[in-house]
Amino acid sequence: MKSLDSYFNTPSLTEPWPPDTPVSLVWFRNDLRVHDNPALWHATQQGRPVVGLFIDCQQQWRSHGLGEARIAYVHLAVKSLQQQLSERQIPLLVVPAQTFADVIDVFQSLSKQLQLGNLGFNIEYEVNERRRDIEVWRWAKSIELSVNRFHDQCVVPPGDVKTKSGTPFRVYSPFKRAWLSEARNYSLRPLSAPPVSDTSMVIDDSDPSGSGQLNQRQPAPSTINLDTELWQASEESCHEQLQWFIEHRARHYQQDRDFPAKAATSQLSIALALGILSPRQCLHAALQANEGQLSGGNAGIDSWINELIWREFYRHIAVAFPDVCKHRAFKPETEQVPWRDPIQDTRARADFDAWCSGNTGYPIVDAAQRQLLETGWMHNRLRMITAMFLTKHLLIDWRLGEAFFNRHLMDADFCSNNGGWQWSASTGADGAPYFRIFNPISQSQKFDPDGAFIARFIPELTQLSPPSRHFPNPMERAQARYPDAIVEHKFARERALNAFQQLSRQTEEAV
């Protein structure tokens, strides 16, 4: 590993303080914000100089399947955080490390160059991240460095919403009821940011070694046409987006949220996935517009709060049932579904490729996939339609779809993605019943009635009348050079039903 000297400027770091002053070190990960950040807030209460640390583990993220555009976006957000912190006289050290295994080296080097008084961070819940943190905690213990850990990814921390018998919930509705009564026991008011200081910042941004300090890096090249107006990486712009949504859209959310042609949802998922906003900030903004009510207020705002609770549900599931973080189905019996294997079966391979590229011949599915490939985001209704199409119509393993989404979504978030895929595949906690198979044509007619969304992402179908866009006839397809459907709906539905019914029979026999 390179010496840390090349990544930050030690003299300017220690300039305002005597060199041996112990510092409060805040390790930023998926919490790239200064407002409502419990680890940062706690560090500023210690009466010590505060130093931030971000460890740039690109190789690890790639091994987790994240795409280049998302990694580039993380860099933008870190750069913005660095600026925000510098205005508060808090330097943010950005240190490259290949994988989580290198993280201890980073801390060891740091501890030689800085007098560490305490270390704080906000908890990440996924298994690899938790293992990494346990190693760091062990190392810190070995040098008698105190470690403070905080929950920031959920309003009610995982483990605190339980059934009457003290077990974790497996089903959403009772979880939600318990969450609503538990939430009032937690502070729903966001923490403030450390005050802005007039004094000039203390970290030197220059990188004389050219060895990769973040400020000097260009985002990795990406074929994604990132809408930088939409995907803002700064905390301030994400706050504005939240406020705008609450003022202009939230009240109509319930009636409009399922229509992808309308910009009716908040599109704050990436800000939440990277922690540029906290869920508590979102909830607080919603409560202010909802006369302080978590439910029973405005139908639109209630419904938006409900989605924030779904997000929490999947995090609670990942902590209580960590097998879901190891590529396992939440319902173990569904491991036996006879998925068609695109590696062994060339027909399945062709179907999978058609799904990935948005060429299945089902316009709503293809428009959804093309939205993902072109923008890095997909509307929730479409995520359900296309995930169900892959797992039920094509009978292809949800794990392949999950990985594809993970690579292409800017808001890729392990818990929500895994939860959404397992819901769609009927393998998950409170998943859709296996016999509930969306018909992509009627979904299209219902949620994109005039085919406006389809036309936006499949321009070759624009010339067709709106009703024809949902499922063009052979002549219309030929004229538009749009592919034939790769599978017939009735046949696919029966094949999926058989596969799952066979499974229920096997389970009954085993019992």
Ligand X SMILES: Cc1cc2nc3c(=O)[nH]c(=O)nc-3n(C[C@H](O)[C@H](O)[C@H](O)COP(=O)(O)OP(=O)(O)OC[C@H]3O[C@@H](n4cnc5c(N)ncnc54)[C@H](O)[C@@H]3O)c2cc1C
Chain residues binding ligand X by CB under 6 A are 257, 265-269, 272-273, 307-308, 310-311, 314, 380, 383-384, 387, 405, 409, 411-413, 416-417, 419-421, 424
Neighbours of 445 (CB within 10 A): 18
Residue 438 beta carbon to ligand X: minimum distance, rounded to whole angstroms: 11
Nearer to ligand X, 75 or 257 (CB): 257
From residue 371, how far is each of 127, 222, 386, 464 by CA, in Å? 31, 16, 12, 20
Nearer to ligand X, 214 or 261 (CB): 261
330: tokens are 């939440």
Residue 53 beta carbon to ligand X: minimum distance, rounded to whole angstroms: 25
CB-count burial class (<10 Å; 0-12, 13-18, 19+) for 256? middle
Strands 116-122, 50-56: pairing kind: unpaired
Pick the closest to residue 202 from 36, 23, 3, 1 (CA basis): 23
Nearer to ligand X, 90 or 305 (CB): 305
For residue 340, the SS3 value is: strand
Let me know: does 376 contact 409? Beta carbons within 8 Å. Answer: yes
210: tokens are 């050219």
Residue 418 beta carbon to ligand X: minimum distance, rounded to whole angstroms: 8
302: tokens are 């209630």
Nearer to ligand X, 217 or 262 (CB): 262
Residue 253 beta carbon to ligand X: minimum distance, rounded to whole angstroms: 7
Residue 376 beta carbon to ligand X: minimum distance, rounded to whole angstroms: 11
Indicate the DSSP class of residue 272: H
Residue 392 has φ and ψ, to the nearest 5°, of: -100, -55
Residue 399 beta carbon to ligand X: minimum distance, rounded to whole angstroms: 12
Nearer to ligand X, 424 or 426 (CB): 424
Task: Give the Cα separation of 251 and 32 in Å (integer).
Answer: 29
Quickly tell me which residue has 């409009």 as its tokens: 256
Residue 401 beta carbon to ligand X: minimum distance, rounded to whole angstroms: 7
Nearer to ligand X, 124 or 411 (CB): 411
Nearer to ligand X, 262 or 495 (CB): 262
CB-count burial class (<10 Å; 0-12, 13-18, 19+) for 365? buried
Nearer to ligand X, 119 or 154 (CB): 154
Q: Residue number with the shortest CB distance to ligand X?
A: 420
Task: Give the Cα separation of 369 and 110 in Å (integer).
Answer: 44
Residue 273 beta carbon to ligand X: minimum distance, rounded to whole angstroms: 5
